[in-house]
Chains A and B, each alone.
Chain A
Amino acid sequence: MRYLIIAFALLVISCKNEKSQKAETPEQKEKVNEVNVYTHRHYESDQKLFALFEKETGIKVNVVNASADELIQKMTAEGEQSPADVLITVDAGRLVRAKQKGLLQGVESQMLEINIPEHLRDKDNHWFSLTKRARVIVYAKDRVKPEALSTYENLTEDAWKKKVLIRSSNNIYNQSLLASMIAHKGEEEATKWAKGIVDNMARTPKGNDRDQVKAVVAGEADVAIVNTYYIGKLLNSKNPEEVTAGEGVGIFFPNQSERGAHINVSGAGIAKYAPNKENGIKFIEFLSSPAAQKVFADSNYEYPVNASVPASDLLQSWGTFKEDVLPLSALGENNKKAVLIFDTVGWK
Chain B
Amino acid sequence: MLRRSRPRFLRLCALALAAGALAACGTSGPAGQAGVTVWALQDNVLNPIEQQSVDRFNRAGGTAKLETFANDPYKQKLRVALGSPNPPSAFFNWGGGNLKEYVDAGKVADLTPLLAENPGLGEAFLPNVLDAARLDGKLYGLPMRGMQPVVLFYNKEVFAAAGARPPGTWEELLALVETFKARNVQPIALAGSQAWTELMWAEYLLDRIGGTEVFRAVKGKPEGWRHPAVLESMTRLKELIDRGGFGRDFAGVGYDLGGASTILAQGKAAMHLMGSWEYVNQLGQSPEFVKREALGWVPFPAVPGGKGDPRNLVGNPANFYSVSAGLSTVDQAKKFVATQLHDPGYVQALIDAGDVPAVSGLADKLAKAPNAAYTSWLYEQVRAAPHFQLSWDQDLPAEQATFLLTQLQEFFLGKLSPQQFVDALASRG
A and B associate in one complex: no
Chain B residues with CB under 8 Å of chain A are: none
Chain A residues with CB under 8 Å of chain B are: none
